[in-house]
């Protein structure tokens, strides 16, 4: 196949004056290089496209691809991750990973959690707060609470101060986040237990859990939360392990919940579901990540693959195979 590759490079936006934190969830050259090599090794011709503006220009110039490997996150708005898939849908060009609806829903943590709640999938009790003025009128879970932006990735806006234990701190953190990031916040029950993230491969009833990655904080890590600082400075602060579900019932339950959550949100091909355990040690779904990071060294999904003895090339080939088979099934139905 001729496979196009869409992405958003951090450097392109840093050159426009954006901060390191603002572009944290965007891609580094090493990710794009590794993906291009893996796609070529899988037997395909990889054509680098770039961000949504480059894609639009290429489409207007008449360029087409058999499949687009899409990791473009976008930079502005609640629908930023849906832009590239929506444009490709318009031109009837197939692509990897989820469709615009799933990407937009998953990015909005409140909407995603409402779907999980309605599907009876364990997730912390929560409320979406548009502004601090609403705090006295919304139904909040009991303290301690956890506060995070409604539509950010890479733990942006999350740190030790996200754990709040009284009304004063809750109002202060909500005011700070809504002012700085210009978006609502999710206020949810704080879960103090194990931090787990499950990689899911496949689509619909074919979706399966590849494995569970457990995140443990130590040393000089910011306590209690897998924060932006801890993710960006993980060496010496964060350790990773891959508990086997056959030996660890918590990991087994996490994987069961992750697949259900993936199916409920309509995830496709591959992604990540983040969970945390409550006081009783039971996992609950925190977030669904249908565009999980694919940096070959630092991202959670490739880290899990390494711990399981699986290569980066193998992972990318699985994603391409899932997308190709899904597209073939869709063509047969049509």
| pLDDT at position 85 | 98
| pLDDT at position 24 | 86
Give the tens place of pLDDT for each residue, 128-170.
Answer: 999 999 998 889 999 999 999 999 987 888 999 999 999 999 9
Q: Is pLDDT at 334 greater than 80 in this prediction? A: no
Q: Is pLDDT at 108 greater than 80 in this prediction? A: yes
What is the mean pLDDT of the segment spanning 298-323? 97
Ranking 110-124, 132-146, 306-320 by mean pLDDT, the lowest is: 132-146
Give the tens place of pLDDT for each residue, 56-92.
Answer: 999 999 999 999 999 999 998 999 999 999 999 999 9
| pLDDT at position 263 | 98
Q: Is 244 helix (H, G, I), strand (E, B) or coil?
A: coil
| pLDDT at position 215 | 96
What confidence category does residue 117 fall into, taking pLDDT thresholds of 50, 70 and 90?
Answer: very high
Fold of 195-333: D-amino Acid Aminotransferase; Chain A, domain 1 (3.30.470)
Can you give the pTM of this predicted structure? Answer: 0.95
| pLDDT at position 236 | 87
- Is the preceding omega at residue 144 within 30 degrees of 0, hence cis? yes
| 333/13: higher pLDDT | 13
Looking at the chain, the whole-number percentage of residues with pLDDT higher than 90 is: 88
What is the Cα 97 distance to its own chain's centre? 12
Give the tens place of pLDDT for each residue, 12-56.
Answer: 999 999 988 889 889 999 999 999 999 999 999 999 999 999 999
How many Å apart are CA 60 and CA 130, to the nearest integer? 39
| pLDDT at position 156 | 86
Give the tens place of pLDDT for each residue, 234-244.
Answer: 888 999 999 99
Domain 125-189 - what CATH class?
alpha beta
Q: Across the chain, what does the average pLDDT equal?
A: 95
Ranking 49-53, 151-155, 176-180, 186-190 by mean pLDDT, the lowest is: 151-155
What confidence category does residue 333 fall into, taking pLDDT thresholds of 50, 70 and 90?
Answer: low
For the chain, the domains span 2-95, 125-189, 195-333
Fold of 2-95: Rossmann fold (3.40.50)
Beta strands in the chain (DSSP E): 2-6, 45-50, 67-70, 126-129, 145-149, 163-164, 185-189, 195-201, 208-217, 238-241, 270-277, 283-289
């Amino acid at each position: 196949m001729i496979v196009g590759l869409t992405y958003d490079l951090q450097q392109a936006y840093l050159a426009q004056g954006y901060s390191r934190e603002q572009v944290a969830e965007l891609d580094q050259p090493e990710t794009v290089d590794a993906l291009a090599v893996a796609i070529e090794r899988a037997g395909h011709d990889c054509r680098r496209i770039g961000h949504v503006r480059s894609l639009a220009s290429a489409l207007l110039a008449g360029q087409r691809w058999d499949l687009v490997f899409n990791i473009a996150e976008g930079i502005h708005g609640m629908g930023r991750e849906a832009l590239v898939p929506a444009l490709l849908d318009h031109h009837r060009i197939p692509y990897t990973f989820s469709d615009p609806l799933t990407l937009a829903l998953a990015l909005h943590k409140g909407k995603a959690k409402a779907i999980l709640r309605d599907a009876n999938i364990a997730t912390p009790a929560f409320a979406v707060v548009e502004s601090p003025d609403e705090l006295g009128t919304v139904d909040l879970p009991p303290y301690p609470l956890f506060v995070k932006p409604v539509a950010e990735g890479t733990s942006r806006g999350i740190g030790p101060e996200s754990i709040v234990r009284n009304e004063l701190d809750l109002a202060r953190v909500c005011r700070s986040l809504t002012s700085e990031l210009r978006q609502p916040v999710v206020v949810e029950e704080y879960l103090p237990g194990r931090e787990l993230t499950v990689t899911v491969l496949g689509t619909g009833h074919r979706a399966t859990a590849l494995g569970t990655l457990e995140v443990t904080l130590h040393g000089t890590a910011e306590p209690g939360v897998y924060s932006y600082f801890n993710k960006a400075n993980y060496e010496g602060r964060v350790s990773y392990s891959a508990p086997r579900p056959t030996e660890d019932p918590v990991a087994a339950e996490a994987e069961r919940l992750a697949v259900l959550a993936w199916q409920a949100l309509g995830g496709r091909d591959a992604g990540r579901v983040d969970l945390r355990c409550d006081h009783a040690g039971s996992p609950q779904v925190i977030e669904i990540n249908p565009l999980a990071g694919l940096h070959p060294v630092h991202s959670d999904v490739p880290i899990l693959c390494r711990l399981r003895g699986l290569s980066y090339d193998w992972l990318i080939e699985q994603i391409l195979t899932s997308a190709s088979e899904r597209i073939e099934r869709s063509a047969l139905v049509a």
